[in-house]
Amino acid sequence: MQGARDRLVLDWDTPVVHRNFYGAVYRPAVLRANLAGTGVADDFRFHSLRHTYASLCIAAGIQPFVLSKFMGHANTNVTLGVYAHLFQDDHADAMAALGALGTPRPASVVPMRAG
């Protein structure tokens, strides 16, 4: 019989059968994490890993188009429909650029055209 540690070594060249992975690796790991007091809920679903992955990609700055390819979505609209709230930004860079338009020019800056 294969031990738990052996089951964690996956052959990524062959497809993972969900029910086998879920029952043998994922569910026991969630239960052990819960017993260890990590705050992982008992009902933490396998699909939650997909959302976690997407959230981490967004936090890392991966653009929606690229993420949609990673997630296997038909188009970027699907990705934005599910994860748009994670792409919200404070637009600090854009606001700083707009604010710079109103600052006085140093004397060493010569305008390209009059006006």
pLDDT tens for each residue of 33-91 = 888 777 777 777 888 888 888 888 888 888 888 999 988 889 999 888 888 777 766 66
Q: How confident is the model at residue 102 (pLDDT cuts 50, 70, 90)?
A: confident
DSSP structure class, residue 15: P
Domain-by-domain residue ranges, the chain?
A: 1-44, 47-101
Per-residue pLDDT at 66: 92
Q: What DSSP element (H or E) covers 81?
A: helix 76-87
How high is the pLDDT of residue 5? 64
Using pLDDT thresholds of 50, 70 and 90, give the confidence band for residue 100: confident
Residue tagged 């404070």 (tokens): 90
Cβ-Cβ contacts under 8 Å for 58 (sequence gap 6 or more): 67, 83, 86, 87
| End-to-end Cα, the chain, rounded Å | 82
Judge whether 71 and 64 are in contact, CB under 8 Å.
Answer: no
pTM over 0.85: no
- Extract the tokens encoding 88: 């919200």
